[in-house]
Amino acid sequence: MAAPARRRARAAGAGSLVLRRRLGLPLVIVLVLGAAEPGAVAVFDEQIGSRWYGLYREGVKVGWLESRFSRGTWRGEEVLVAEGHARTKVRAGGRDHETTLDTVHRFAGEAPHALLVYETTSTRGGLTEIRTLRAGPGGGGWIAVTRRGKEPEEARPVDVGAYTLDRFLALERWVASGPGLGDEVQTGRLDPASMSVLPAEATVVGVTHTVVDAVPTTVFSLASFDGSGGSTITRYDHEGRILAVEGGQVDLRAEPEAQAKTLEATTDLFLDALVRPDVALTEPRTLRRLVLGVPAAAAALFPAGAGALREVDGAWQLEVVRGQGTAVTDAEVAAALGPPGIGEGRVGRLVGRALPRRISQRDAAQRLAKFVADYLVDDRAAEPLDLAGIIDGRRGDCTEHAELFVAVAQAAGIPAREASGLMWIDELGAFGGHAWAEVALDGQWVAVDPTWGQLPADPTHIRLADPPAMHAAARRALKAGGVTIVAQER
């Protein structure tokens, strides 16, 4: 018997929708008819006005978001405007970190409603950065411009194709058409970091008939995947308006304005997430091998790079050995070599300062880890910075150390990527959140900690899965189920 039918949709171009049904047979594709998608302008007009959301991290209220749709004029032209205004306040490392983020999309009022300009403004620690995406000279191609504090503008060509209101609202339009349980759609999203359109897909994992704000409605729950391992669950009403988002860096919940802007008592998220084992580690930086007893709920969430996971007498153990990693694939190497031109400019000059002309990759990675540890002042209270800010400011916490190390390693031709999870913190007597890096050496991913200048990193570095939701779930499971020290060897 054939497997249950599932429709798959691809949002493309001017709103065309191709529906496919999987029949459980290899290479068999049957075209089917689905409900017509409403036009992008119709969906846009349904959302005119402001909607408010509370922002939550680990269940703690950390800020608010206003989503606003409106019609207006810009440079004498009628435009359709979609804005987002977010404010967050997070306590970590004994200090409050406040961030503001404002974004605006302006689309032409006339069909095909092409994007005219996209701008995002972020302020953290007193530093404001503005990123703008606009048409190039003569309307040819796109230009991404970055303005950071008082620094000169940086402009570069980017390719986002024919980005229109149809593409911007593709997912909302699809939801408004009334997809069925199990239906899938392929879309793309404009990524503000790379200023490019990244592929994504979503699947309907729930359809619920309920009442929202005293109005009967249908709630569609979509599992979205962005191609980099990240996933979220987004709940929409029947008109394509977002009700909640779960599983990202922060969760969103639709709330009245006054409730959205009301923050709870500030919790130190770093201290709240500490994992304390049954006994303390001794001289952790000298360890060669570490074996932990972990709860079954956490064992199911560890990624392959965490270490050797095994069941012993009905209990789970995780073994981490210094310098022992997972096999490297060709695709991983290609992704970890960095973008073209990574060795140019300030990053390239740092590599020139750190390395002699002829050196092996392993020796180069060791020197770069030590260089980054010495170059940056360790500041756990530092605000998050981009690469230019890290190089100029010469200070940061583990995240900034990892980011700078990956950049200089890639510039030196060494495949490198960021990693995160838990690490033993002596002064707290517990495992706490930490970021480090991995380099591809001799066919294996080897952990390197540029905050401490370690290559290979000591085995108290416990790798957790990259998607924020799985990362947080593993930490919660470890904290709730308890961790034991089975063995610590030098």
Evaluate the CA torsion angle 267, 273, 277, 281 in order and state its sign: negative
With bands split at pLDDT 50, 70 and 90, how would you rate the model's confidence at 151? confident
What is the pLDDT, as a whole number, of residue 422?
92
CA distance 33 to 20: 9
CA distance 31 to 95: 57
Task: From residue 361, give the alpha-carbon distance in Å to each of 8, 260, 454.
Answer: 45, 51, 15
The answer, yes or no, to whether residue 464 has pLDDT greater than 60, is: yes
Contact by Cβ (8 Å): 275, 431: yes
What is the pLDDT, as a whole number, of residue 94?
63
Strand locations in 93-153 (E)? 95-108, 115-124, 127-135, 142-148
Contact by Cβ (8 Å): 418, 305: no
Mean pLDDT of 5-26: 31
The answer, yes or no, to whether residue 177 has pLDDT greater than 60, is: yes
Query: What phi and psi, each to the nearest 5 degrees, are found at residue 366?
Result: -65, -45
Quickly list H helices, 177-315. Answer: 257-260, 269-272, 296-299
Residue located via tokens 């300009």? 117
Mean pLDDT of 114-140: 84
Contact by Cβ (8 Å): 220, 175: yes
The answer, yes or no, to whether residue 308 has pLDDT greater than 80, is: yes
Q: What percent of the chain has pLDDT over 90?
A: 39
> What letter would DSSP give residue 182?
T
Q: Cα Rg for the chain, rounded, in angstroms? A: 24
What is the pLDDT, as a whole number, of residue 7?
42
> What letter would DSSP give residue 329?
P
Q: What residues pair up with 82 in beta bridges, in sequence order?
A: 69, 105
CATH assignment of 273-489, given 1.10.443.10, 3.90.1300.10, 3.55.10.10, 3.10.620.30? 3.10.620.30
> What letter would DSSP give residue 188?
E
Among residues 30, 122, 138, 131, which one has the least CA distance to residue 85?
A: 122
CA distance 23 to 130: 48
What is the pLDDT, as a whole number, of residue 343?
60
CA distance 42 to 173: 9
Mean pLDDT of 197-218: 84
Taking all residues of the chain, what is their mean pLDDT, rounded to a whole number? 82
Number of Cβ within a 10 Å radius of residue 3: 9
What is the pLDDT, as a whole number, of residue 249?
72
Q: What residues pair up with 116 in beta bridges, in sequence order?
A: none
Task: Give the tens place of pLDDT for each residue, 406-435.
Answer: 999 998 889 999 998 999 988 888 998 889
Among residues 155, 161, 93, 83, which one has the least CA distance to residue 381?
A: 93
What is the pLDDT, as a whole number, of residue 194?
74
Mean pLDDT of 329-356: 81
CA distance 371 to 353: 9
Mean pLDDT of 370-399: 77
User: What would the DSSP string read from start to end of 63-108?
Assistant: EEEEEEEEEEEETTEEEEEEEEEEEEEEEETTEEEEEEEEEEEEEE
Among residues 38, 22, 40, 39, which one has the least CA distance to residue 30?
A: 22
Contact by Cβ (8 Å): 221, 203: no
Task: From residue 258, give the alpha-carbon distance in Å to each of 90, 263, 266, 418.
Answer: 19, 10, 18, 39
Q: What residues pair up with 454 in beta bridges, in sequence order?
A: 449
Q: Please indicate whether residue 98 or residue 419 has the higher confidence score (pLDDT).
A: 419
Q: Domain locations in the chain? A: 40-260, 273-489
